[in-house]
Structures are given as C-alpha cells and as structure tokens.
Structure 1
Amino acid sequence: MQTTVREKQNSIACPRCGSEMVLRRSKKGGDQSSQFWGCSRYPRCRGTANIA
C-alpha cells in the first residue's frame, strides 16, 4: 500500500478562519484568469488574499 503525502504549497493562513490558503484563478470580473489566494474551506469560508 502506497501512502501519498500532500506537500503544502504555501504557508499562508486565511485571514478569516486561519485555515490553509490555496492558489485559485478568477473566473469572473474584469481581471479574468488572474490568480489569488482563496481559503481551502470554501464555500464555508470565503476568505481571500491578493498575491503580493
């Protein structure tokens, strides 16, 4: 049996709940396909952060 270890891609914490943030792409708005950090607990938490 092989165990898969998921590496953390970042060390950014959600500003709303403290969970891990994941890199996402915008699908709507003026900046379509731009990237941003979104909470891994979405849709329960809608915390976001801009990429600096």
Structure 2
Amino acid sequence: MTQITTDAAYITLINVFTVIPARQAELIELLDAATADVMRHCRGLFRPIFTARWMAPG
C-alpha cells in the first residue's frame, strides 16, 4: 500500500476530479491514456496510481 509522508525524498501530486457518475468511465479512460502517452516519458515518474472515492448520496 502506498503511504504519503512529509519526510519522503520525493513529491506526491494529488489531483482531485469531480465528475458526474455517467462520465466516470470516460474520465478513467482519459487519465489512463494520458499516463500511457505523456506521463510515462516524464523523468523521475515511477508510479502513477489512480484511486477512486465515492460520496454517499445526499
């Protein structure tokens, strides 16, 4: 499991996306394509991780 700490020798970038449920799959596909096409060429990037969190309705 990944741990984010304040004393690590690297930087953790967290992006938060808000998307309607009907477009969630589209967003995941876009993020996956961006990782495959762009991020894998960035020097030093070693572990892109996608997680998801859903909020309870209401």
Instruction: Give the TM-score normalised by the residue count of structure 2.
Output: 0.22
Tell me which structure has the larger Cα radius of gyration.
2
Q: Which has the higher helix share?
A: 2
Instruction: Give the TM-score normalised by the residue count of structure 1.
Output: 0.23
Higher relative contact order (CA 8 A, sep 6+): 1
